[in-house]
Every structure is written in structure tokens, then in C-alpha cells.
């Protein structure tokens, strides 16, 4: 009887872990995709990076209970994956397509005209983001689009919190200048 009880307990525990992993995929796949795409600039590569991140989660599913902040943990995993891929590729395309990232931004509850205007505005803002230096762009993407705190960004990027704050300050100032310049051209 005891062996049967242990087997039932283990089976129930495995089902609970699988349900927890499925919940993580459901809840965070969009966020992880945006993070991956912000670095890789390629939809297929970003999807592959997210899949690889979840495969790593599956390999370490026994330790899920030990993770304090699953969102930051998952972002750090995908961040490391995409940086490894970038290092291996060692090149970045000269022209980046921001339309794919604009596609994943929310537009629910808007009329067709409002959606078109919002998509145009998103694309315009993202085009300005693309003009930022890489370090400033990274912290801005994680702060503005993924809504991570300075502490969380520091953890993801492996830098100090003060570095995050200074890069974010520079990024916001540069963005303000770029957006002002863009408005003056209209």
C-alpha cells in the first residue's frame, strides 16, 4: 500500500509541476517574445529563443518552487539565450523591422482608425528607440515595455542598479530629443 501511495503522490506532484510550467508559458510567452525580439530583431529567432527558455525551465522544473520572482527569472533566461545567439552571430542587421514589435503591442478596444493611428505612433516611437545606443535601448526596452524595476533590470543585465538608472536617464533624454525632432518634421 505504501508504494502505491508514494506512486500516486509522485504522479500528482508531476501533474502539478506540469500545470505550473503550462501556466508560465501561458502567462509569460508574450513578454519573453518581446524581450527576445527586441534583441534579435527576427520573429522566428525570437520564437526559437522563447522555446529554448521554456525547455530550460522544463529541465529545471523541480526547482520552480525555489524561484522568488518567476517573471524576472524567465526574462533573465531568455535574455541570456538571446545574448548568446547575438554573440555567436556577431552581426546585427543594418535595418531593423519595428513593424513586428508594433504588431505585438496591445490595441484592444480601439476603433479601426484609432488602431491605425496607434500602430503608426508605436512604429514611430519604436523607430526612435532603434536609434538609441544598444545599452540605453536595452534598459529602456526592459523598463518601458516590460515594466521591470531598476533592481530587476540590474538582475537581468548583470549590472549595478546605479548603471541601470544612469542608462535609463540617458535613454529618456535621447528619446525626448528624437521625438521632438520627429514632431518638428511633421
Q: Read off the CATH number of the domain in which 9 is found.
A: 1.10.1740.10
Nearest-5° Cα angle at 35, 26 to 120: 100
Is the pLDDT at 100 greater than 70, yes or no? Answer: no
- pTM surpassing 0.85? no
Integer Cα distance of 30 and 34 in angstroms: 6
Q: Which of 29-38, 91-100, 155-164 has the lowest mean pLDDT?
A: 91-100
**Crossing angle for the helix pair 2-40 and 43-59, nearest 10 degrees?**
150
Q: Is residue 100 part of a domain?
A: no
- Residue 67 belongs to domain spanning: 1-94
Mean pLDDT estimate for the chain = 81
Among the listed residues 28, 45, 29, 25, the one whose alpha carbon sits nearest the alpha carbon of residue 37 = 45
Q: Is residue 46 part of a domain?
A: yes
Q: Is residue 70 part of a domain?
A: yes
Q: Is residue 178 part of a domain?
A: no
Q: Is residue 71 part of a domain?
A: yes
- Our count of domains for the chain comes to 1
Q: Is residue 125 part of a domain?
A: no
Q: Is residue 54 part of a domain?
A: yes
Which three cell numbers, joined as nine digits, stand for 46?
A: 525570437
Q: Is residue 103 part of a domain?
A: no
Per-residue DSSP letter, 142: I
Amino acid at each position: 500500500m505504501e508504494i502505491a501511495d508514494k506512486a500516486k503522490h509522485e504522479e500528482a506532484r508531476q501533474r502539478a509541476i506540469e500545470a505550473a510550467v503550462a501556466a508560465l508559458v501561458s502567462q509569460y510567452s508574450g513578454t519573453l517574445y518581446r524581450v527576445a525580439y527586441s534583441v534579435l530583431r527576427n520573429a522566428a529567432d525570437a520564437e526559437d529563443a522563447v522555446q529554448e527558455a521554456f525547455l530550460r525551465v522544463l529541465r529545471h522544473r523541480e526547482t520552480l518552487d525555489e524561484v522568488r520572482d518567476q517573471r524576472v527569472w524567465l526574462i533573465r533566461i531568455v535574455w541570456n539565450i538571446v545574448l548568446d545567439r547575438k554573440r555567436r552571430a556577431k552581426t546585427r542587421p543594418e535595418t531593423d523591422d519595428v513593424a513586428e514589435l508594433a504588431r505585438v503591442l496591445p490595441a484592444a478596444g480601439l476603433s479601426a482608425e484609432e488602431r491605425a493611428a496607434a500602430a503608426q505612433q508605436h512604429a514611430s516611437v519604436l523607430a526612435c528607440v532603434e536609434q538609441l545606443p544598444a545599452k540605453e535601448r536595452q534598459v529602456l526596452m526592459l523598463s518601458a515595455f516590460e515594466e521591470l524595476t531598476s533592481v530587476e533590470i540590474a538582475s537581468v543585465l548583470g549590472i549595478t542598479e546605479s548603471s541601470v538608472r544612469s542608462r535609463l536617464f540617458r535613454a529618456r533624454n535621447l528619446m525626448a530629443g528624437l521625438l521632438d525632432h520627429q514632431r518638428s518634421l511633421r
